[in-house]
Chains A and B, each alone.
Chain A
């Protein structure tokens, strides 16, 4: 099993550009989520999904869109990148919403200039 995979590993965008961060898992997990990690602020939940076709907002959803058309994939879209979105983004998945272990991807380091 590859676990949770994320692409790309690094990305530089100009303000106003759009892009999609990819996340995939091969563990048949129902629950998937996106976090951003910023110095001194820990990880903050952006969006999450409890199953295919179901998504909801987390703590910091503004500027981001998600969709969940399959169990395996949970892409995160930045429609118009802003410097405030410079961060490290982590995708995670777990078997259910019960507090089982969440498995994290390796992260995507995004810089918006």
Chain B
């Protein structure tokens, strides 16, 4: 079965601390994974996708096929990073399967 799991509902860190938001997936085949972010009172938007291997707003995510993971990382969290983060898997035909979401709270 195709599935995305984000084990943490809430992650709270202090400003300047490292952040890792966990994402595990289940998919037979070569996965295509994304991180979407929803800031307060804003619409959901793409943060990054694994195929581009880019760093956006200091965030990176590496696909680990052995551990079936796509964790989102940032070395130094900022208060403006506080948001809801969703990991998503591209299923057949462009259908996205989302994880449950992790709320990141960065305290001053």
Contact = CB atoms under 8 A, between A and B. Distances in A.
A67 interface: no
Given A105-B43, A106-B43, A43 B98 contact: yes
| Interface-centre pick from A42, A48, A56, A59 (highest chain B CB count, 10 A) | A42
Contact of A99 (B45, B51, B100, B101): B51
Nearest to A106: B43
Interface string A33-68: 101000011111100101000001011000000000
Interface string A70-101: 00000000000000000000101010111101
Name the prevailing secondary structure of the B interface residues.
mixed
Contacts of B101: 42
Contact of B34 (A41, A45, A99, A107): A99
Contacts of B4: 42
Interface stretch (B12-20, B64-72, B74-82, B86-94): B86-94
Interface of B: 4, 6, 9, 32, 34, 43-46, 49, 51, 86, 90, 93-101
Given A42-B99, A58-B95, A99-B49, 6 more contacts: A43-B96, A48-B94, A59-B97, A90-B43, A98-B94, A104-B44
21 contacts: A4-B43, A40-B9, A40-B100, A42-B4, A43-B44, A43-B86, A43-B96, A43-B98, A44-B98, A48-B94, A56-B93, A59-B97, A92-B44, A97-B93, A98-B94, A99-B34, A99-B49, A101-B46, A104-B43, A104-B44, A104-B45
